Structure 1
Amino acid sequence: MPPTTIFDLPTPSLILDRAKLVRNLRRMADTARRKGVLLRPHLKTAKSIDVARLAIEGQSGGIAVSTLKEAEYFASQGIKDIQYAACIIPDQLTRVADIQRLGSRITLITDSVEVTRAICSMGRELDETFRVQVELDCGEGRSGVFPDSEELIEIARILDEASHATFSGVMTHAGHSYQCRTIAEIEEVAEAERDTAVSAAERIRRHGVACATVSIGSTPTALYARSLDGVTEVRPGVYMFGDMFQAQINSCSVDDLAISVIAEVSSHHAAMNRLLVNAGALALSKDRSTENMPNDIGFGLVTKADGQPFKAPMKVARVYQEHGQIPLFGELSCEQLPVGTRLRIYPNHVCMTAAMYDQYHLVDSEQGDGCEIIAIWPRINGW
């Protein structure tokens, strides 16, 4: 018999609150509409067609992904416009061609003249046309060419003249917005991101090459950009779910967090007033993004199973592979949380936390007590 409430689930299990998800999706959709840009949801965290359908409702229908496994999956589910938002490797192009033969258009990313030539060559060999964007470095220093570089123009020209490739535009991602601690700082990074993308597009156009798409990313900058003039689309992703880190950089509030993990108390260390739960590094991740934040919540914020907070804040302070250690504070004692007690953990970094799970157990905090399982949505993993 399938589980009917979160108290029937095997632990650890991944919980998704549909009501919060829908509110988060609506907030970003309204923001994109108000700022005059298309919304291309990045589904690298969601990895679920059920989440995707909600995210693209009322949008242009395009999505972004971070793995070819995701591209294959979403193409098989009928998504036709997919950006593979990581620099393509030439030996992946046969796989891309196979995905396109399912009827989907895959937009590729590169920051390399050499790879651009390989894309054109493989297109001729496979008799397939590849759609390509140039990745720009807007300050993070991870990948991408600079907007004033010679490589930018050379890549655009090669693609513009190719028989089996087309130049689609430019894209960038302000991942360093996660280092911001105030909205004012996010606004500055957002403007630098916008300026990088727009100036690169304008420079390409001055060299006689059309540049239709000007694409930027990042949940914080999409929300707080003062202006998106010259940008055509935004590609945020974590906004759908939120996490404790995003709550501390003002991308959401703790009440917006749609993802949590249900776990059980598995052991006590009464002499040290702490306990273990059966959710550790694999179930929660070892990401420590809140470590240097004003409110360090370790590896996750711990609440009662129904999501209600304890009087004294609780967190997972340490993780082992399959266990999480939780110190007890205030009036709480091990006797009050016997072995088998179910607890809910809101993640530090939801993208990492969700990665190990193959399904979402859906609840709805606007229905009853929010503990009833209303659906199970599959999700995929891998590359």
Structure 2
Amino acid sequence: MTDTLNSIAQLVTPCCLIEKSKLQGNIARLSAHIGELGCSLRPHVKTHKSVDVTKLIENGGNVRGITVSTLQEAQHFFKHGYTDILYAVGIVPNKLATAASLIEQGCDLKIVFDNTAMAAMVIEKAAEFSCTFKVLIELDTDGHRSGIEPSSQALLDIAGLVNQSQNIELCGVMTHAGESYSCFTHEEQLAMARQERDLTLLAAERLRAAGLECRVLSIGSTPTAFAIDDLTGITEVRAGVYAFFDLVMAGLNVCDVKDVAISVLASVIGHQTEKHWAITDAGWMAMSRDRGTANHPTDQGYGLVCDITGKALTDYIVNDANQEHGIIRHRDAKQPMNYDAFSLASMVRILPNHACSTAAQFSHYYLVDEGKVIEKWHVTRGW
């Protein structure tokens, strides 16, 4: 419900807006692409943390369960009827009680780890519970962060430990091609997508050759999900930010700026005319401190400024941010501000660098369509 609000101008700032038509278009684009390749999506809900957004993604088709980044998210979505859940962050023993509680209530929860020492600790702790924990081994297919190399002996060592356990079931492997966030062309993204796929297939082949289970092959990132051209042998693709998109994705040419569905509505609260600044009430507590475009050909500062209708004012960015103050200026610091576009008490929208970190600053979103507020969507937060 919208608490009787129907005009964006009535909203108290800063707040988070989601454009319905853009959201639906973004969802449909990836759903169709993955469907054409004969595979399934396991959307990562960490971007939006919203049951309402997830329902739209389900309606788009080709969905096989969800991915979460916290057990709190798992609990929230399970409460709302989602049972097939991958917790895609390495587990530690003291989180198994929460995981066990979900499993015992009927949740088909999968956990992950990526080294023999942690596997041994988890296996030891798992013996305290009566349920079976399903596990995916995390692979490193691009040197970006977590995971083990698909060609390593460690892969077979971990799988062997799991295979000997009474309370752990090996389901397969998963990976995240995070290095794709450094790929600026389709050709680079396609090469990374194929590398992610091929190394995952290699890991699965090695496990099966050793007589071990590997029925789930889970890969994904938003850039590689859109770039991939063949998913033969892969069972699911994970992506999250594609639903909202953001300036990082636009900077990588995965989408266009006009596709970004999320924005922060802010009010102009002051002018610093001698510095050619306009000040808003949306600082880094609203936008986040993410500077994901800093190394891009076009640096978008802390966000790209739009007018209240969502039209990009491409010459203006949030150049700096304090906790509750955003500082707007021309891209060329020597250029004067057009204060007619930033009159006191007027409103602007700001497109974020990283949708996940900006969305996480808010307890709810306002869904908007053709300049009207049509829904207020609550989200979950925390760990």
* Deviation for aligned residue 1:341: 0.6
Alignment match, 2:378: 378
Correspondence for 2:342: 337
Paired amino acid for 2:239: P
Q: Distance in 1 between matches of 2:343 and 2:73?
A: 41
Range moving further from structure 2, 317-326 or 94-103: 94-103
What percentage of residue pairs aligned between the two structures are identical? 39
- 2:65–2:83 contact (8 Å) kept in structure 1: yes
Alignment partners' CA distance in 1, 2:179 and 2:75: 29
Contact 1:274 1:334 in 2 (8 A): no
Q: 1:33 to 1:336 in 2, by over 3 A?
A: closer
**Post-superposition shift, 1:380?**
1.1
The 3-state SS of whatever aligns with 2:365 is strand
Which residue of structure 2 lines up, in the alignment, with residue 348 of structure 1? Answer: 353
Give the drift of 1:60. Answer: 4.1
Pick aligned residue for 2:220 from 217, 221, 233: 217
Q: Indicate the residue corresponding to 2:362 in structure 1.
A: 357
- Check conservation: 1:75, 1:103, Cα contact below 8 A: no
Q: Which residue in the other structure is 1:367 paired with? A: none
Q: Which letter does structure 2 place at the counterpart of 1:234?
A: V
Cα distance, 1:152 vs. partner?
Answer: 0.7
Q: Deviations along 1:36-83, whole A, 9 cap, x unmatched?
A: 211100011110111111112333440001111111111111101000
Instruction: State the Cα distance separating 1:336 from its structure 2 match.
Output: 4.8
- Select which of 20, 23, 40 maps to 1:21: 23
**1:199–1:214 distance in 2 versus 1, CA, 3 Å:** same
Residue number among 78, 81, 85 corresponding to 2:88 in the alignment = 85
CA contact (8 A) 1:76 1:102 kept: no
Q: Secondary structure at the residue paired with 2:372?
A: coil
- Mapping of residues 219-238 of structure 1, within 5 Å: 219-238=222-241
Could you say if the C-alpha distance between residues 281 and 69 of structure 1 is closer, same or farther in structure 2, counting changes exceeding 3 Å?
Answer: same
Which stretch of the first structure deviates more once superposed, 329-338 or 258-267? Answer: 329-338
5+ residue gaps, structure 2, are none
1:76-155 equivalence runs, <5 A: 76-155=79-158
In the alignment, residue 353 of structure 2 is paired with which amino acid? N
Aligned to 2:270: 267
Report the more deviating stretch, 170-179 or 224-233: 224-233
* DSSP-derived class of the 2:142 partner: coil
Q: Are the equivalent residues in 2 in contact too, given 1:4–1:373 (CA < 8 A)?
A: yes
Residue equivalent to 2:9: 7
CA drift of 1:251 comes to: 1.4
Indicate which of 325, 328, 349 corresponds to 1:326: 328
- Whether the 8 Å CA contact 2:159–2:212 is kept in 1: the answer is yes
Q: Take 1:109 and 1:157, find their aligned partners in 2: how far apart are those partners?
A: 15
Q: Could you report, residue by residue, the CA deviation over 1:224-276 in whole angstroms, capped at 9, with x for unpaired residues?
A: 01322221110011100000110111211111111000000011001122111
TM-score computed with the length of structure 2 as normaliser = 0.95
Correspondence 1:149-164 to 2 at 5 A: 149-164=152-167
Show structure 1 runs of 5+ residues with no match.
365-369
Identify which range, 323-332 or 124-133, moves more after superposition. 323-332
CA RMSD of aligned residues (A): 1.5
Give how far 1:101 is off: 2.6
Shift of 1:300: 0.6
Partners of 2:159 and 2:345 in 1: how far apart?
A: 60
Q: Residue 251 of structure 1 corresponds to which residue in structure 2?
A: 254
The answer to whether the 8 A contact 2:144-2:177 is kept is no
Check conservation: 1:119, 1:130, Cα contact below 8 A: no
The structure-2 alpha-carbon separation of the partners of 1:60 and 1:180, relative to structure 1 and needing over 3 Å to count, comes to closer
Q: Distance in 2 between matches of 1:335 and 1:248?
A: 29
Report the Cα distance in structure 2 between the residues aligned to 1:222 and 1:335, rounded to whole angstroms: 42
* Counterpart AA for 1:355: A
Structure 1 stretch 166-175 or stretch 269-278: which is displaced more?
269-278
Amino acid at match of 1:67: T
Aligned pairs for 1:273-352 (under 5 A) are 273-310=276-313, 313-328=315-330, 332-334=337-339, 336-352=341-357
User: Alpha carbons of 1:196 and 1:4: their partners in 2 closer, same or farther (altered >3 Å)?
Assistant: same
In the alignment, is residue 40 of structure 1 matched against residue 45 of structure 2?
Answer: no
What residue identity is the alignment partner of 2:365?
Answer: Y
Task: Tell me if the contact between 2:276 and 2:336 (Cα under 8 Å) persists in the aligned partners.
Answer: no
Deviation of 1:115 (Å)? 2.2
Q: Cα deviation per residue 1:121-154 (whole Å; 9 max; x = unaligned)? A: 3333111110000000011341111112122112
Instruction: Give the letter for the 1:272 counterpart.
Output: K
Q: How far apart are 1:331 and its partner, in Å?
A: 7.5
Q: CA deviation at 1:334?
A: 2.8
